[in-house]
């Protein structure tokens, strides 16, 4: 079935270094790829997303790259800070059209990466 893999499962970096998290997906119909950050005990929150018509997107210290041919996408965080410590989830999504009147998004989440930024 549809699957999203995510690596590494845990990542420790020194403050100021960069962090990279990689995801692969299996469904070639996927065309929307959001990234969520979940701090301990809190809800997942969207930090950046990318659509299939774009190869790269950047927002300050965060960037995401997408390779549709290889079916993988990555999250890059530069100049990491202690407040970046959290669990990061990638997801792959596409829209299903079961009928002329109905459409809905199918979203598959990766298992998560626990990032620790050491001061």
User: What is the contact surface with other proteins in residues (CB under 8 A)?
Assistant: 6, 31-32, 34, 36, 42-46, 49, 51, 89, 93-96, 98, 102-107, 109-112
CB 49 within 8 A of CB 32: yes
Q: How far is the CB of 79 from other proteins (least distance, A)?
A: 26
Per DSSP, 25 falls in state E
Cα separation, 94 vs 30, whole angstroms: 5
| Coil, strand or helix at 28 | coil
In this structure, is the dihedral angle defined by the CA atoms of residues 89, 29, 25 and 102, taken in order, positive or negative? Answer: positive
Q: How far is the CB of 88 from other proteins (least distance, A)?
A: 10
Q: How far is the CB of 105 from other proteins (least distance, A)?
A: 5
State which residue, 40 or 70, has the beta carbon closest to other proteins.
40
State which residue, 12 or 81, has the beta carbon closest to other proteins.
12
State which residue, 34 or 84, has the beta carbon closest to other proteins.
34
State which residue, 61 or 106, has the beta carbon closest to other proteins.
106
Q: How far is the CB of 96 from other proteins (least distance, A)?
A: 8
Place of tokens 């100021």: 16
Long-range contacts of 59-67, Cβ-Cβ distance < 8 Å, separation of 24 or more: 64/33, 64/35, 66/33
């Amino acid at each position: 079935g549809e699957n999203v893999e995510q690596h590494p499962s845990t990542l420790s970096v020194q403050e100021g270094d960069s962090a990279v998290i990689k995801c692969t997906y299996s469904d070639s119909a996927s065309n929307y790829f959001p990234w969520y950050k979940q701090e301990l005990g809190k809800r997942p929150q969207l930090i950046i997303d990318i659509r299939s018509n774009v190869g790269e997107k950047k927002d300050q210290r965060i960037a995401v790259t997408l390779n549709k041919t290889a079916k993988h996408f990555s999250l890059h965080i530069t100049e990491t800070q202690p407040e970046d410590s959290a669990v990061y989830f990638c997801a792959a999504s596409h829209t299903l059209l079961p009928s002329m009147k109905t459409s809905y998004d199918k979203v598959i989440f990766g298992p998560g990466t626990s990032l620790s930024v050491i001061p």
